[in-house]
Amino acid sequence: MTILLWVALGIIVVAIVAIIGMYNSLIRLKNRVEEAWSDIDVQLKRRYDLIPNLVETVKGYASHEKETLEKVVQARNAAMSARSGEDMKSRAGAENMLSSTLKSIFALSESYPDLKANQNFLELQRELADTENKIQASRRFYNGNVRDFNTKLQVFPTNVMAGMLGFKPREYFEIEEAKERENVKVEF
């Protein structure tokens, strides 16, 4: 009878250790996803801070391009208001819209040679390009962590434990508009 008791206790201890291990790994992955999203937020905040300076610099040179500048400001405001929401799709859509409107400012610089030579504009353009690269890297890092977390939620036996504890899969940060996925046509 003593051996049977020790075997039962051993099984219970192994089960408890396995449950603790699964729970801790889920928490670790969940925290990585949240950290990765925070990294995206930091870069987006940096971009939001740079945009008004860029718009003001362009305004001085391209006062009759008011419509383009207003679109950039509207897209920035929409993206900032989407930051407070938890819906990943609406946040990604707003961020993608802002990215596409920023391209229109850089296209404006081609029409204004003085603007292209302006040191403030060039520095802001460099900073914004650097920030866009960091946002892209942060999105990839976030999506990698979401992949790991979602995979962990789907594999057995962690899926049983995750379901009981209320862990939910996270959404990827994706492009909303199909035209942004198409290849760019370059013509000379």
Chain centre distance of CA 45: 12
Instruction: Report whether pLDDT(184) > 60.
Output: no
Q: Give the model confidence (pLDDT) of 20-73 as tens digits.
A: 999 999 999 999 999 998 888 888 888 878 777 777 766 666 554 566 667 777
Supply the pLDDT for residue 149: 95
- Tokens 């699964």, located at residue: 22
Q: What is the mean pLDDT of residues 118-146?
A: 84
Token pair listed for 24: 């801790």
- Tell me the percentage of the chain whose pLDDT exceeds 70: 71
Per the model's pLDDT, the better-predicted residue between 80 and 171 turns out to be 171
The answer to whether 142 and 36 are in contact (CB under 8 A) is yes
Q: Give the model confidence (pLDDT) of 91-115 as tens digits.
A: 777 777 777 777 776 666 666 666 5
Token pair listed for 50: 């740079």
Amino acid (1-letter code) at residue 96: N
Q: Give the model confidence (pLDDT) of 71-90 as tens digits.
A: 777 777 777 777 655 567 77
- In order of their start, the domains of the chain are 14-175 (1.20.1440.20)
CA angle 95, 65, 136 (to 5 degrees): 20
For the full predicted model, state whether its pTM sits above 0.75. Answer: no
CA angle 136, 137, 142 (to 5 degrees): 95
For 146, how many CA atoms within 13 A lie in the half-sphere containing its CB? Answer: 16
Supply the pLDDT for residue 177: 58
